[in-house]
Amino acid sequence: MDSPDVNFLDPEGYVAQQQRVHFWRIVALMGLVVGPILVLTPLIAYRYRFSGNSTYTPDWHFSWIWEAAIWGGPIVIVTILSYFLWQNTTALDPFEPLPIDGEPVRVQIVGYDWKWLFIYPDHGIATLDELVFPEGRPLNLELTSETVMQSFHIPVLGGQVYAMEGMISKLHLAADRPGVFRGRNTQYNGHGFHRQQFVARALPETAFSAWLDTTSTDARPWSDAVHDRIAERSTLQEMTEGDDTGAAFRDVPGDLFSGIVGPMDRDPDWRSRDRRDASVEAGPADGPVATATGQAADPAR
Amino acid sequence: MSLTDFIDALTGRMTLEALPFWKMVQNPTPENIVNGAIATGVAAILVLAAIAVLALLTYFRLWRTVWFDWLTTVDHKKIGIMYIVLSFVMMLRGVVEANFMRANQAVGFDGGFLSADHFGELFTTHGTIMIFFVAMPFLSGVINYVLPLQIGARDMSFPVTNAIGLALTASGAMLVMASLLFLPFSIGGWTGYPPFTGKEYSPDVGPNYWIWAVTLSGLGTTLTGINVACTVYKKRCPGMDFWKMPMFVWASVTTAILMIFALPPLTVATAMLALDRYLDFHFFTTDAGGIPMLYANLFWLFGHPEVYILVLPAFGVWSEVFATFSGKTLYAYRTLVWATLSIAVISFLVWVHHFFTMGQSAGMNAVFGIATMLVGVPTGVKIYDWLLTMYRGRVRITTPMVYALGFVMLFVIGGASGILLANPTIDYQVHNSVFLVAHFHNMVIPGTLFGMLGAYSFWFPKAFGFMLDDWWGKLGASLWIVGFMLAFFPLYAVGLLGLPRRSVAYSEAAYTPYTVVAMLGALVVLAALGAMFWQLYVSIRNRDALNVYAGDPWDGRTLEWSISSPPPVYNFAVGPEVFARDAFWEEKRAGHAYQIPDQWEDIELPANSWLAPILFFSSFTLTFGLVWHMWWLVILSLLVVVGALVARSFVIDRERTIPADVVREEHLRWLKAVREAPSAPRELEVAPGNWGRPQSEAGVPE
């Protein structure tokens, strides 16, 4: 099998497409600045070389015309760039939903050393290191980390955002067509860092529904033991070696994510296992039905 | 107290596992053997080099010289030279580390030959060393050497403080070196982001090394900043108002102001991280009310001005180099001053661009992105000012000019990639990738490092009285330029293709061609370093033929060229007075250079002090003890530090006098040599036969 797509200049989704446009636009504008300097520098050094016979004015040191040009040029370029920067940045705020049609798919993502947990709160399932979603529909992601700072990135779809313990970040992406894309953590977090990659798989709508059904029935049930195992410092491969934990789970409690994030007014013991267990118990009864109503406590709202 | 308790207290947290070969001996897997052999080899080289240096000093009976002429000196010129020597030693290590990393990534498809932790230590020490113990000492050294000479002063405002600044920086460097013998160093990167470097995720002593090395460097640099600023404010010679200061002086004082304001946030951040690690504070943890994002803000509140601390002195150097080698006064001096000052102000308003991806609002990111691009305006103006300085000049391509031209052309490319990164929508893609690595190396290698190497080529004859061999110098400069391009242009490409920084291995076969070229580039840079060391050797061998005792090999413009090479310990026999910005150039033009003074006076200079070497050793033992929790060593070292400071306050005899007769004799001998030296036309500038007395372009009519 070929490597999953990883180059954002060959984009597969709305956000990365915009980013490619921005990239080439800035490169072109900067070319207007850089090009002349690359040409002029050797030219001037040669034209006014010591052994040449060009004009020599050792005391000439100022000209208003030149002054206006060398300040004016950069100011004009930076002004144009600033206009586009403001437009683009506010339009592509990763925390805001994308302006595309379709029922959004919600996925909550937890970063671990060195794997990613993808929770589908509306379906009561979760996967490790594989993000499956339908093409053409907005993908609304919420991120946190149960360890150090991480950065979640699927280059061909769009930008990256940090996932941090005790906080929720958001990211909105979409894929134009079915495909298999590389995703990864880009923020160094120890010796498994380079293997903290995952596959993002965009499926046709029907295939996605089928996948949801299969996973909801066939995957292993979620449990605290599974959670503890995932939280250990290991890659997915190391974790599943000689172990039947698997990489897909059903019966995932609807408030798993909010329990991991913890209360925003953190108290000293919020990370302790007792508390997490308590919050799981306090939540609605496990299973897809409860979460599908979207009633799970979510401190981000 | 049992024997075990005693040994535990003695060794703190150090065990046999700290030795570089221990893991390999205990658990000889192939991976452990490769990594252990590299670590042990490097440690052995370090120990042997240290023994060799000590043996040579003993054999040649140089200990008295070392102590009285160097370690205890407070002469700004010698302190400057020691800074630069320190920088070159550390640069050698940094470049070798870079070569290991590049070699590893060249074969990094599905795994290199280094272990992940070893690779982590390499990129952490490489970054820490190159910023704090190569770039910073180099620029501190150049400023130390050149600045007092350019403003017609006999020393810095606080000579002993100056020596202490060097001592703290050097002990920080020694701490990083010690981590080669007693492992491990941090793997948390030169930025040391918690919570990864916190106690919970990095329980080993690695981050302790990083914290204390950076803290020592930060304190030393703060002292340097205060000293440089005071020196510029208070020690300028008569006639030198602000608008007559050479451009390098402006760059230095601006840098000093940045140091004073930017280094404290770093020192605070490392101190808070130390409190987290040692005393269970929770500044940067996610429990007990701490917040890791605070660290990112504090660090980059230092880190971004730091970028301009690195590059502004180089800008100052370029202003001197372009003017001197164009035989022409600087274009738009006042514009350059304003551009420098505005860069300094803007540098404090852009730090958020280091973490656009941390989740601020889009508006906040846009504001900081635009502020970042604003820096491009004054920087672009500077570039054009240098080109206009060459315009209608008579440009001589010497070694410093090769660096300068390479700088201009490469730096604008780095600036363009910086504009890309300043755009949050692009940064979301290339943040944390090797595109970013390529960008900042593109700024600090052509920017800072070429500037410092240009300064080294430019002022070496001033400091040592003989020229550096020009052929080897140009070869070194060309290799640096080519090596840089080979090493980092592929990283731009492979960064766009999605290779994250700090990856010991990757899983895309498409990356390999780029990483192989980058490795070749790193080898060329190593060759450049070799050419520079060979240049030094060749030049020392030919020092009689390359002699420029008369002091003005480049047909210079500013005061440092109006005295002998090397300068006398008191710099100026008679305090100069200036009437123009290009003070010495105008004197040459008016035919007033090299005049015999009417009267001579005794000169008072600060006396040597043993305080700096004592603080050097004790701050090293103090921090080494802190790293390994050897509390007896910490207490002992603290007692020495406090004792030395108290004892110093009882020293009354802090000055020494150079009698007027000695000054007179030295100065007349030099003037005689100047008169006897054949005046060299600029065609002979870099050839043997340039005795430091130019046939000045200042005489050429317009």
Does B376 score more than 90 pLDDT?
yes
CB contact under 8 A, A44 and B381: no
Rg, C-alpha atoms of chain B: 26
CA B295, CA B277: separation in Å to the nearest integer?
A: 14
CB contact under 8 A, B500 and A45: no
Q: Do A50 and B509 touch (CB under 8 A)?
A: no
- pLDDT digits over A205-220, tens only? 999 999 999 999 999 9
Q: Do B188 and A188 make contact, defined as CB atoms within 8 angstroms?
A: yes
CA distance B494 to chain A (A): 9
Residues B330, A61: C-beta atoms closer than 8 Å: yes
Mean pLDDT of the B460-470 span: 96
- Residue A209 to chain B, least CA–CA distance (Å): 30
Q: Tell me the two tokens of residue B261.
A: 């304001």
Q: How many CB atoms lie within 10 A of CB B212?
A: 24
B423 CB near a chain A CB, below 8 Å?
yes
Question: CA–CA separation, B256 vs B231, rounded Å?
Answer: 10
**Residue B80 in this model has a pLDDT that exceeds 80:** yes
Q: What are phi and psi of A291, to 5 degrees?
A: -75, -25
Q: Helix, strand, or coil here: A248?
A: strand
- CA quadruple B570, B573, B574, B580: dihedral positive or negative? negative
| A68 plus A154 within the same structural domain | no
CA–CA separation, B185 and B202 (whole Å): 11
Contacts of A65 in chain B (CB under 8 A): none
ipTM for the complex shown: 0.93
Sign of the torsion angle spanned by Cα atoms B113, B117, B119, B121: negative
Amino acid at B506: Y
pLDDT (tens digit per residue) in B162-174? 999 999 999 999 9
Q: What's the mean pLDDT in B409-415? A: 97
Is the minimum CB–CB distance between B590 and chain A shorter than 8 Å?
no
Instruction: Work out the pLDDT band at A280, boundaries 50, 70, 90.
Output: very low
Which residues, numbered 351 to 370 in chain B, qualify as contacts with chain A under a Cβ-Cβ cut-off of 8 Å? 355, 357-359, 361-363, 365-366, 369-370
Cβ burial B261-286 (10 Å sphere, 16+ → b, else e): bbbbbbbbbbebbbebbeeebebbbb
pLDDT band at A274 (very low <50, low <70, confident <90, very high): very low
Q: What is the pLDDT of residues A141-190, one digit of tens each?
A: 999 999 999 999 999 999 999 999 989 999 999 999 999 999 999 999 99
Contact B393, B404 (CB under 8 A): no
Q: Under a CB-based contact definition with an 8 Å cutoff, are residues B354 and B304 in contact?
A: yes
Q: Rounded to 5 degrees, what are φ and ψ at B28?
A: -80, 65
Average pLDDT over residues B98-118: 94
Count CB-CB contacts under 10 A for residue A66.
Answer: 16
Residue A140 is assigned to a structural domain of this protein? yes
What residues make up the domain containing A44?
Answer: 14-51+62-91
* B109, two tokens: 């498809």
Note the pLDDT of residue B486.
Answer: 98
Answer whether residue A191 shows pLDDT above 70: yes
DSSP B66: I
**Could you say which of B201, B358, B380 has the minimum Cβ distance to residue A162?**
B358
3-state secondary structure B250-277: HHHHHHHHHHHHHHHHHHHHHHHHHHHH
Residue from A148, A197, A238, A265 whose CB has the most chain B CBs within 10 Å, to mutate: A148
Digit-coded pLDDT (tens) for B263-283: 999 999 999 999 999 999 999
Substitution target in A14, A50, A237 with the highest count of B β-carbons within 10 Å is A50
Model pLDDT for residues B602-631, shown as the tens digit of each residue: 999 999 999 999 999 999 999 999 999 999
Instruction: Please tell me if residue B539 touches chain A, with a CB cutoff of 8 Å.
Output: no
pLDDT in tens, B635-671: 999 999 999 999 999 998 889 999 999 999 999 999 9
Encoded amino acid at B152, one letter: G
SS3 letters across B529-541: HHHHHHHHHHHHH
pLDDT over threshold 50, residue A299: no
Residue A109: name the closest of A6, A198, A203 by CA: A198
Q: What pLDDT score does A263 carry? A: 67
Q: Is B196 on the interface with A (CB under 8 A)?
A: yes
**A81: distance to nearest CA of chain B, Å?**
8
Distances (CA, A) of B151 to B224, B249, B339, B560: 17, 8, 21, 8
Q: How far apart, in whole angstroms, are the C-alpha atoms of residue B620 and residue B628?
A: 12
Angle between helices B333-346 and B376-390 (to 10 degrees): 160
Q: What chain B residue is nearest to A191 in terms of C-alpha separation?
A: B116
**pLDDT in the model for residue B59:** 95
Contact list, A3 vs chain B (CB under 8 Å): 507-510
Give me the residue label for tokens 């072109």. A28
For the segment B357-374, what is each residue's pLDDT rounded down to a tens digit? 999 999 999 999 999 999
Question: What single letter denotes the amino acid at residue A55?
Answer: T
Tell me if A67 and B332 make a contact (CB, 8 A cut-off). yes
| Cross-chain Cβ contact B116/A23 below 8 Å | no
- The residue in chain A having the minimum alpha-carbon distance to the alpha carbon of residue B410 is A38
Chain A residues lying within 8 Å of B402, measured CB to CB? none
Residues in A closer than 8 angstroms to B117, CB to CB, are 191
Pair A44, A184 in one domain: no
Q: Which residues of B touch A50 (CB under 8 A)?
A: 327, 394-397, 682-683
Assign residue A129 the CATH number of its domain: 2.60.40.420
Give the CA distances from residue B409 to residues B252, B321, B415, in Å, rounded to whole numbers and listed in that order.
24, 16, 10
Instruction: Kindly give, in sequence order, each residue whose CB lies less than 8 Å from that of residue B432, ignoring residues fewer than 6 positions away.
Output: A151, A153, A160, A186, A187, B357, B500, B501
**Does residue A196 form part of some domain?**
yes
* Co-location of A82 and A117 in the same domain: no
The pLDDT of residue A226 is above 70:
yes
Do the chains contact at A44 and B120, CB–CB below 8 Å? no
Record: contact B335-A159, CB cut-off 8 A: no
Instruction: Tell me the longest C-alpha to C-alpha distance in chain A.
Output: 90
User: Which residues of chain A neighbour B286 with C-beta distances below 8 Å?
Assistant: 164-166, 266, 271
User: With an 8 Å Cβ cutoff, are A27 and B416 in contact?
Assistant: yes
The SS3 assignment for B248 reads helix
Q: Which residues of B touch A197 (CB under 8 A)?
A: 507
Interchain proximity B425–A270, CB inside 8 Å: no
Within 8 A by CB and 6+ apart from A224, the residues are: A277, A280
Asked if B128 contacts B44 with a C-beta cutoff of 8 angstroms, the reply is: no
**Is A167 in contact with A144 (CB distance < 8 Å)?**
yes
Cβ count within 10 A of residue A22? 22
A7·B496 Cβ contact <8 A: yes
**Chain A residue with minimal CA distance to B119?**
A191
At residue A147, the pLDDT reads: 93
Which member of A61, A147, A269 has the closest CB to residue B333?
A61
Domain count, chain A: 2
> A169 and B359 in contact (C-beta within 8 Å)?
yes
- Residue A229 lies inside a defined structural domain of this protein: yes
Is residue A204 situated within a structural domain? yes
Contact B381 A164 (CB under 8 A): no
pLDDT level of residue A246 (50, 70, 90 thresholds)? confident
Say if residue A278 is in the same domain as residue A149: yes
Residues A167 and A242 in one domain: yes
Q: Does B193 touch chain A (CB under 8 A)?
A: yes
Residue B205 clears pLDDT 50, i.e. is over it: yes
Q: Which amino acid is at B48?
A: L
Mean pLDDT taken over chain B: 95
Instruction: State whether A44 and B501 contact (CB < 8 Å).
Output: no
Average pLDDT rounded to a whole number, residues B485-496: 97
Please provide residue A150's backbone torsions phi and psi, each rounded to the nearest 5 degrees: -130, 165
Q: Is B442 in contact with B413 (CB distance < 8 Å)?
A: yes
Q: Is residue A170 part of a domain?
A: yes
Shortest Cα distance, chain B CAs vs residue A295, angstroms: 25
Tell whether A7 is covered by a domain: no
Contacts of B431 in chain A (CB under 8 A): 151, 160, 186
Whether residues A150 and A85 share a domain: the answer is no
pLDDT band at A272 (very low <50, low <70, confident <90, very high): very low
Mean pLDDT of B341-359: 95
Chain B residues with CB inside 8 Å of A189's CB? 196
CB spacing of B359 vs A95 below 8 angstroms:
yes
Closest chain B CA to residue A18: B425
A225 in any annotated domain: yes
Confirm if A253 and A286 have CB atoms less than 8 A apart.
yes
pLDDT score of A270 more than 80: no
pLDDT digits (tens, 9 = 90+) for B427-458: 999 999 999 999 999 999 999 999 999 999 99
Residues 6+ apart with CB under 8 A from B595: none
Using pLDDT thresholds of 50, 70 and 90, give the confidence band for residue A294: very low
DSSP run (H or E) holding B343: helix B333-346
Q: Which amino acid is residue B91, in one-letter code?
A: M
A34/B416 touch (CB, cutoff 8 Å), yes or no: yes
Q: What is the mean pLDDT of residues B253-262?
A: 97
* Nearest chain A CA: its distance from B689 CA (Å): 19
Q: Do residues B312 and B255 make contact, with C-beta atoms less than 8 angstroms apart?
A: yes
Coil, strand or helix: which one is A134?
strand
pLDDT of amino acid B700: 60
Domain spanning B62-502+509-609+654-699, CATH architecture: Up-down Bundle (1.20)
Contact B385/A3, CB-based, under 8 Å?
no
Tell me which residue of A105, A127, A108 sits closest to A296, measured CA to CA. Answer: A108
Q: What is the reported pLDDT for A2? A: 57
Q: For chain B, first and last CA: distance in Å? A: 86
| Rounded-to-integer distance, Cα B240 and Cα A289, Å | 82
Strand-pairing partners, residue B604, are B657
pLDDT (tens digit, 9 = 90+) per residue, B669-694? 999 999 999 988 888 898 888 899 99
Q: In chain B, which residues have their Cβ closer than 8 Å to the Cβ of A62?
A: 331-332
Instruction: Render A153-215 in DSSP notation, one character per residue.
Output: E-TTT---EEE-BT--EEEEE--SS-EEEEEEE-S--STTGGG-EEEEEEE-HHHHHHHHHHH
**Is the per-residue pLDDT at B189 higher than 90?**
yes
Q: Residue B251, class by beta-carbon neighbours within 10 Å (0-12 exposed, 13-18 middle, 19+ buried)?
A: buried
Long-range contacts, stretch A230-234, CB < 8 angstroms, 24+ apart:
A230/A112, A230/A115, A230/A117, A230/A128, A231/A112, A231/A146, A231/A147, A233/A113, A233/A114, A233/A147, A233/A190, A233/A192, A234/A113, A234/A114, A234/A115, A234/A192
Rounded Cα gap, residues B270 and B208, in angstroms = 10
pLDDT at A221 over 70: yes
Which residue bears the tokens 């004592």?
B614
| pLDDT tens string B35-68 | 999 999 999 999 999 999 999 999 999 999 999 9
Same domain, A167 and A282: yes
For chain B positions 634-663, those within 8 Å of chain A (CB to CB) are none
Contact A33 B287 (CB under 8 A): no
Pick from B355, B387, B700: CB nearest A56: B700
How far B395 CA lies from chain A's nearest CA (Å)? Answer: 5
Closest CA to B315 of B335, B296, B301: B335
Considering the domain architecture, whether residues A112 and A194 belong to the same structural domain is answered as: yes
Nearest to B372 by CA among B339, B348, B350, B396: B350
Q: Which residues of B20-44 are buried (b: 16+ CB within 10 A; e: fewer)?
A: bbbbbeeeeeebbebbbebbbebbe
